[in-house]
Structure 1
Amino acid sequence: MRILRLAAAAAVVFAGVGAAQAQDWSKIRIGTEGAYPPFNTLTADGQLVGFDIDIAKALCEEMNAECVFVTQDWDGMIPALQAGKFDAVIASMSITEERKQKVDFTNKYYNTPPAIAVPKDSPIKGTSAEDLDGVALGAQSSTTHSNYAEAKLPSADLRLYPTPDEYKLDVASGRIDAVIDDVVVLSEWLETEDGACCKLLGTLTPDPVINGEGAGIAIRKDDTALRDQFNEAIEAILANGKYKEINDKYFVFDVYGG
């Protein structure tokens, strides 16, 4: 009798484990920064807009899931995901080996190279390590771009900022000499009134180890079903034209990459 009771208790426990693993993903909390235009940004009236946001909405629609967005400072993005503040990160997070130690990723949903921007009257001629020797170079902290600068441009005077807005203000006011970020982010900024100070110096050759495989959706390591659903949805919007529709809303070139 005791054996039967133990077996029944074990069955209840395992059933509970199975139910926990079979997570209902009809509602998904999406973590994003809201400070990285044109990919994700908060408007004056508190609305989240941008390429990342539209892609997230398209993927959730494809998955028949409700999207709920949660804003989070970039430096705390992965810890907040691990702590359960949200279920996925769609915030232009590059897929790198270092991050893979902490979280899982979907396949990429875009891939663009890093670049350097400088004031229009800058004497800096190129983007090599020699060209940037001693240059005060701004970058957002905890990004692949700051990691790239540390590894590939070691003689630059790297200055780290919480968000791109701070480095943009400093290069516009002459407190730093150059900035490094995604080519799309810099190009879009240069077309605005605030970016009229500066010009694109050139793009940099990505390092797969540092820059990763492109931007993907970060998922907790145990949430493999959610990762697989996102991957299927990414393939679906690439195939049905929705991805191109969103791409063309923001860019004049294909950001998906090869």
Structure 2
Amino acid sequence: MNITRRFLGAALGATLAATAALPALAQNTAQDVASASVIETIKERGVIKIGLSLFKPWSMRDLNGELIGFELDVGRQLAEDMGVEVEFVPTSWDGIIPALVSGNFDTIISGMTVTPQRNLTVNFTVPYAYSGMTILANTAMTEGFTLEDYNSSEVTFAARRGATPATVIADMFPEATLLLFDEDGAATQEVLNGNAHATMASEPTPSSEARRYPDVLSVPFNQAFQAGGEGFAIRKGDPDALAYFNSWITAKTNTGWLKERHDYWFRGNDWADQVPE
């Protein structure tokens, strides 16, 4: 009987000790996660490294070769609010997620649409911008076309390799030929030169190009496709970074700063004379 009581007492004591240790263990785990966050790396380094790919008006080079655009405004303001410097790392679109995962930079801020497929590899913040895609067509080559007419083996699309429009074109128009390029500008040039019937891109690029070349290009449908949100991409397993970037985006949304910057770059063309034609 005494042996049983001693055994139960020892077991109860061990259980109570383990229970008492749980808060300390949880606190240590939380501290370990926080210390492993890229936020701590950025603070210690004094620089946030941002990966981006060049396409108007998200990010582009001005006449002096300096980077300007909506993403640059976002990245610079983010760095200023964090009290650090900013380093932008231009990267080809088809390699930008692998470069993030490999640690070449801390986050992607590059008009990247949040998709379930991408979420398998990286985590996304809440959207900091919203955009939809439209078709930009060679007017003479597509005269009289309905939307269904674009889904033909006799039709050629051009798009940027690895970008969302390329995926949407392949899904919507599986019978069409799809030419892939490393830059949005190359895809538009193919349509302009008559080597492709159409391309697809996020607004305002299609409408802007149609106004620029009204005798050749047009946006044939008053319809946006795959309208969705763009988020910062970060490496998986970093809840602290996700929490900070989400709170920053929410704050800048609530003050109207993000809308003001987005409207400047996407709804106006006061910046157009700063970049090469």
Question: Scaled by the length of structure 1, what TM-score is found?
Answer: 0.81
The one-letter amino acid paired with 2:111 is S
CA distance in 1, matches of 2:205, 2:81: 27
Query: Residue 156 and residue 226 in structure 1: after superposition, are their counterparts in 2 closer, same or farther (change >3 A)?
Result: same
Matched, 1:115 2:134: yes
SS at match of 2:127: strand
From 27, 38, 42, the counterpart of 2:57: 38
Measured against aligned partners, the alpha-carbon deviations of 1:185-205 in whole angstroms (never above 9, x if no partner) come to 212233346x76311112555
> Where does residue 190 of structure 1 map in the other structure?
210
The one-letter amino acid paired with 2:182 is P
> Where does residue 4 of structure 1 map in the other structure?
none
CA distance in 1, matches of 2:211, 2:200: 17
Matched, 1:224 2:239: yes
> Where does residue 264 of structure 2 map in the other structure?
249
Offset of residue 153 of structure 1: 0.9
Q: Relative to total residues, which structure has the larger strand share, 1 or 2?
A: 1
**Preserved contact between residue 117 and residue 200 of structure 1 (Cα < 8 Å):** yes
> Where does residue 80 of structure 2 map in the other structure?
61
* Equivalence map 1:9-28=2 (5 Å): 20-22=35-37, 23-26=40-43, 27-28=47-48
Query: Residue 135 and residue 240 in structure 1: after superposition, are their counterparts in 2 closer, same or farther (change >3 A)?
Result: same
The one-letter amino acid paired with 2:201 is D
> Where does residue 25 of structure 2 map in the other structure?
none
CA distance in 1, matches of 2:30, 2:150: 63
SS at match of 1:175: coil
* Equivalence map 1:33-112=2 (5 Å): 33-34=53-54, 36-112=55-131
**Preserved contact between residue 58 and residue 242 of structure 1 (Cα < 8 Å):** no
Larger mean Cα displacement after TM superposition, 164-173 or 69-78: 164-173
Q: Relative to total residues, which structure has the larger helix share, 1 or 2?
A: 2
Unmatched segments (≥5 aa) in structure 2: 1-27, 269-277
Larger mean Cα displacement after TM superposition, 58-67 or 146-155: 58-67
Larger mean Cα displacement after TM superposition, 149-158 or 76-85: 149-158
CA distance in 1, matches of 2:83, 2:220: 43
Identical columns (%): 27
Measured against aligned partners, the alpha-carbon deviations of 1:133-168 in whole angstroms (never above 9, x if no partner) come to 231111111111111111111121111111111112
CA distance in 2, matches of 1:65, 1:140: 33
Query: Residue 174 and residue 223 in structure 1: after superposition, are their counterparts in 2 closer, same or farther (change >3 A)?
Result: same
> Where does residue 153 of structure 1 map in the other structure?
173
CA distance in 2, matches of 1:123, 1:47: 37
CA distance in 1, matches of 2:242, 2:29: 23
Offset of residue 24 of structure 1: 3.9
Question: Scaled by the length of structure 2, what TM-score is found?
Answer: 0.76
Query: Residue 72 and residue 127 in structure 1: after superposition, are their counterparts in 2 closer, same or farther (change >3 A)?
Result: farther
Q: What stretches of structure 1 move > 4 A for 4+ residues in a row?
A: 13-20
From 132, 139, 142, the counterpart of 2:162: 142
Q: Which has the larger radius of gyration?
A: 2
Unmatched segments (≥5 aa) in structure 1: 1-12, 254-258
